[in-house]
Homo-oligomer: A and B are copies of this chain.
């Protein structure tokens, strides 16, 4: 493709992109496809000869786009948001064009230093003390694994240290699956993973954590890491961070705080008190790619003991040595991957384009909508809000008077059917979770384009669906 054709095609795509941003709300939010439908219409072998971009683009529009789930649709209430934004997309265009591989300072000095700057900005925006240093990881799963490996490293100062086989890790029963995955991948092993029970607001019980650690110490285990959650995936519960930090302090237990979704809310002054104690953590992860208008992937990892991190990840072969190594940050030593995209650029574009106040306003807008929705649900007979609303997520279920005699499995099934009916309309998309044995509907409000009208439409659709399903 010659430069002039690229110019023409890229302009063509920009018009499509701008149209998409304007019209995404009119598309079916989820595709009407069955497993295998898309594979069936695509050729089984790669073309030997070049094809025209016209044909590729037509196929994209005809075959691929109708099979996509539209995460940036204003009716998006599923999982957590992965909201993007115009300035973030502009930055991605530049990042892709430069095609720089930012593993070391020398392989792109501006990328490294812009990452240092934007991570300092983020640290300040969250109200974290100077003791924390930030680095961009791809996802929170990776960041949590990085934290666990760093905690493990603390106990492996000597090769072959036998005690490293006795490390234990702690998280609440509501912690994200990435914690379990990280425990498994780190080699610590699930048999040394302690799930701490939660209170009636789904937050970790600090007293039970203290007991578990004490018991393990008595049995010759070495408690290595506690993963506390600020904003659980199921219900945005917040573990008691100060109490947990108190328990970790002095016992040399690494405290990692998973604030993947909710962390963005810490930039809002009136919401920051919810995170009290987070400043005592050893490491923290939050995802600007969830709720801060930065394209996926961009996960912010803050760590206090950068030496533990470097001891875990630093390996410098000859072909990567540069004369500046002693003076600079080489981010390849701060995580699993050697190669790195220039992800700081989108963070910089987004923070500047909206300003910190603009980002705060967006979060306030979503949190306000969530509280309004929760109010509507609470005042509607036959529905109940089942967990505290702290951020943009509302957890609720349908339990009509007619269902009073139903056993919980049949009530769960009723809620499953209501959810399926709501989603079948493809105007909004919600997902579910289980809380205390109950099948619960989750409505996560956090899309950039989501307005009050979208939330109201969703609530109308939910009520309609509920009234159409018989207990």
* Chain A residues within 8 Å of B, Cβ to Cβ: 1, 3-7, 9-11, 13-18, 20-22, 31, 33, 35-39, 42-51, 53, 55-56, 60, 63-72, 79, 82-90, 92-101, 105-111, 113-114, 116-117, 120-122, 124-125, 138-142, 145, 149, 152, 156, 159-160, 164-165, 176-178, 180-181, 184-191, 233-234, 289, 295-297, 312-313, 315-320, 324, 327-328, 336-339, 341, 345, 348-349, 351-358, 431-434, 442
B7 touches A46 (CB 8 A): no
The winner among A95, A184, A351 for most chain B CB atoms within 10 A is A184
Partner of A110, one of B38, B149, B164: B38
Chain B nearest CB, measured from A329 CB (Å): 9
Given A18-B10, A31-B110, A319-B79: A338 touches B177 (CB 8 Å cut-off) = yes
Q: How far is the CB of A321 from chain B (nearest CB, A)?
A: 8
A21 and B6 within 8 A (CB): yes
Q: Which of B5, B42, B93, B289 contacts A17 (CB 8 A)?
A: B93
- Listed by A's residue number, 25 A-B pairs whose Cβ atoms lie within 8 Å are A6-B17, A10-B93, A13-B93, A14-B14, A31-B110, A35-B109, A44-B120, A56-B87, A67-B110, A68-B109, A70-B98, A71-B99, A71-B108, A79-B101, A82-B99, A82-B100, A84-B97, A88-B96, A96-B96, A138-B339, A141-B337, A142-B337, A149-B185, A185-B186, A296-B341
Copies in the complex: 2
Q: Are A318 and B97 in contact (CB under 8 A)?
A: no
Whether A111 and B337, one on each chain, are in contact in the complex, defined by CB atoms closer than 8 angstroms, is: no
In the assembly, what is the distance between CA of A125 and CA of B83, in Å? Answer: 36
Pair A355/B51 contact, Cβ less than 8 Å:
yes
Closest to A6 in B: B86
Partner of A94, one of B60, B69, B187, B191: B60
- Closest chain B residue to A17 by CB distance? B97
Assembled-state Cα–Cα distance A82/B98 (Å): 10
A86 to chain B, nearest CB (A): 4
Distance between A47 CB and nearest chain B CB, rounded to angstroms: 5
Inter-subunit contact B177/A109 (CB<8 Å): no
Could you tell me if A1 and B315 are in contact, using CB atoms closer than 8 angstroms? no
Residues of B within 8 A of A353 (CB): 1, 50-51, 53, 56
Given known pairs A46-B356, A185-B336, the reply for A105 and B7 (CB within 8 Å) is no
Contact among B110, B186, B432 for A319, CB-based, below 8 A: B432
- List B contacts of A358 (CB < 8 A): 49-50
| Cross-chain contact A48 with B317 (CB below 8 angstroms) | no
* Chain B residues within an 8 Å CB radius of A164: 187
* Given known A-B contacts A93-B93, A319-B234, A178 and B38 have beta carbons under 8 A apart: no
A320–B69 CB distance below 8 A? no
